[in-house]
Chains A and B, each alone.
Chain A
Amino acid sequence: ETGVTQTPRHLVMGMTNKKSLKCEQHLGHNAMYWYKQSAKKPLELMFVYSLEERVENNSVPSRFSPECPNSSHLFLHLHTLQPEDSALYLCASSQVSGGGDYGYTFGSGTRLTVV
């Protein structure tokens, strides 16, 4: 394990469902990230939380809603998704200080399939 745990590992949901992805980091980091990885495409940054404040929202549709209740936990709430949202969703964490980030670590991801 990398120190960043994502659950569930696999998720199949209908377009009318509501579900949540969970990420927990055990590294004492102060920043957490959500990425989307579609087949044969580079990772796309979705959201960044630094010190529990959302500092970036990369033009992500409102059907994706992040939540960061504390520095160790990050959620991605999903509702009325589309089939093209099927992808691997990765969580990452890092320690941000002195103008840089350190120890950037990814979780194992949640494979999401929208049917």
Chain B
Amino acid sequence: KNQVEQSPQSLIILEGKNCTLQCNYTVSPFSNLRWYKQDTGRGPVSLTIMTFSENTKSNGRYTATLDADTKQSSLHITASQLSDSASYICVVSGTVSGGYNKLIFGAGTRLAVHP
């Protein structure tokens, strides 16, 4: 069964600290892996997208890693800011069907950054 599991479910950190969010997946075949940030009551916004051959990708203070052998990904946030408080969703793109990629969503990690 195609699944995406994220941990932790929620996390509280102090402003300025770093944190790492985890994503394990069992989606096969694999096309790409995406990390999204979703503010409360808003739509998800793409942070990074990585294909099978990419091990790491950065977007400002966000750095995503991918180990396609172990089917694990992480999202590292450096020097956290209050505006980083949001849900972070790991999404794995699976088989191409009907001309589009089927996305498998994780349940997300809820991050709260406190002053």
Is there contact, CB below 8 Å, between A43 and B99?
no
Q: Which of A43, A56, A88, A99 contacts B96 (CB 8 A)?
A: A99
Find residues 85-111 in chain B having any chain A CB closer than 8 Å to their own CB.
89, 93, 96-103, 105-108
Beyond A107-B43, A109-B43, A111-B41, whether A101 also contacts B106 by CB under 8 A is no
The distance from the CB of B85 to the nearest CB of chain A, in whole angstroms, is 17
In the complex, which residues of chain A have a beta carbon less than 8 angstroms from the beta carbon of B101?
Answer: 100-101
Is there contact, CB below 8 Å, between B100 and A55?
yes
Is there contact, CB below 8 Å, between B98 and A55?
yes
Find residues 60-115 in chain A having any chain B CB closer than 8 Å to their own CB.
88, 90, 92, 94, 96, 99-101, 104-109, 111
In the complex, which residues of chain A have a beta carbon less than 8 angstroms from the beta carbon of B45?
Answer: 2, 106
In the complex, which residues of chain B have a beta carbon less than 8 angstroms from the beta carbon of A43?
Answer: 44, 89, 103, 105
Query: Is B31 at the interface (CB under 8 A from chain A)?
Result: yes
Chain A residue, CB-CB nearest to B46: A104
Residues of B within 8 A of A (CB): 4, 31, 34, 36, 41-46, 89, 93, 96-103, 105-108
Residues of A within 8 A of B (CB): 2, 4, 6, 31, 40-43, 45, 48, 50-51, 55-56, 88, 90, 92, 94, 96, 99-101, 104-109, 111
A-B contact pairs, 19 of them (CB 8 A): A4-B43, A31-B99, A42-B105, A48-B100, A50-B100, A55-B98, A56-B98, A90-B44, A92-B43, A96-B99, A101-B93, A101-B101, A104-B34, A104-B103, A105-B46, A106-B45, A108-B42, A108-B43, A109-B42
Q: A48-B98, A56-B97, A106-B43 are in contact. List 18 more A-B contacts (CB 8 A).
A: A2-B45, A41-B107, A42-B4, A42-B105, A42-B106, A43-B103, A43-B105, A45-B102, A50-B98, A50-B100, A51-B99, A55-B98, A90-B43, A99-B99, A100-B31, A104-B34, A104-B103, A106-B45
What 8 pairs between A and B have smallest CB-CB spacing? A106-B43, A55-B98, A42-B105, A43-B105, A108-B43, A96-B99, A101-B100, A96-B100
